[in-house]
Amino acid sequence: MAGKAAVRKKAPATKKRGRLSPRREKRGLDAADIALGLDGADVAPLVAEVRAAGGAALGAYREPLSGRALLLAALPVDAVEPTPFQRDLSPTHTKRLAAKIEEAGSFLDPLIVVRGEDGKLWTPNGRHRLAAAKVLGLKQVTALVSPDEDLAFRILALNTEKAHNLKDRSLEVIRMARSLAKRRPGSKEAEFTAEFEAPELLTLGIVYERNGRFAGGAYSPFLKKVDRFSDRTLAVSLRSREAYAARLEGIDAQVKRIIEGLQSRGFKSPYLRAYVVARINPVRFHKLKKGETKPPMPIGEALTRMAAGAKKFNLDSVRTADLALVAAVAGGEE
């Protein structure tokens, strides 16, 4: 511009990616403290158990973070069982894993093994590797044997062997809860927040137990806002969750009826369920704030309102443009 110095706009600053910052203060054990002999008092009971199961103790060490003793052992394949509350076995994944192990010519990853009920040896994170070993006809598998029996209930957060989908996680969590309710009858549900990860997984797990084809993903956003861990004992809380799950199944039956009605009117979108559930969700406009713990309404009240919304759902109110918006949002989330 004449008579004026040209003003250049500054380019917007690019946002730097978050970087992993190593902890300044080092923690854990030194190398000399990690090494253990097989005759040490900390591992002697584990060595005896391994030998009684027909296996062999290979070495021992202290886990570098907590200092707990661990035993590296060879165990007969038939002496190890998956924890009873673990996700269901995937035959497809097992066959693929067995083929890859055969292709590599090595079974490299030891199973984590702990003492289970009735003196059994449980693996809380190696169900597919154990099954793959059986497919391959292996006699023995290597294992890290831990004296910490409660590790069986904390391993879910560390399990990266095969990504858990919502159904897998929910079923594993509810099975874990039922097992803990028997082992620790006086324990409260809220004591196991780390083990269970999220309260809605307990409720969804009960529904998945009854109906493996349940579309839990459609109801998960709703439950995240209203479902919370209980301060009651696990046994009492599970009874309440059984009732919540039954009501959720009743709502889903109504949702299926609505979907059939919409389909009969020519709506064929794959997002029909997501759209209908969003429409009857009584807390759909509530945005969870960071650190928020109190639900916008109790889960019982929310289920009542949701059921009422399903019963009075007006098919005539649905527009093609509404479904297009749901599809766009879903596509963005994916």
Q: Could you list the beta-strand ranges (E) of the chain.
A: 35-36, 56-62, 69-76, 80-82, 111-115, 121-123, 140-146
Closest CA to 201 of 232, 225, 234, 223: 223
Per-residue pLDDT reduced to its tens digit, 116-145? 877 789 998 888 999 999 999 999 999 999
- Tell me the whole-structure pTM to 2 decimals: 0.63
Domains along the sequence of the chain with CATH: 33-157 (3.90.1530.10), 164-333 (no CATH)
3-state secondary structure of 18: coil
Mean pLDDT rounded to a whole number for the chain: 86
Decide: 197 and 241 in contact? Cβ < 8 Å. Answer: no
Q: What is the pLDDT of residues 254-289, one digit of tens each?
A: 999 999 999 998 888 888 999 999 999 999 998 877
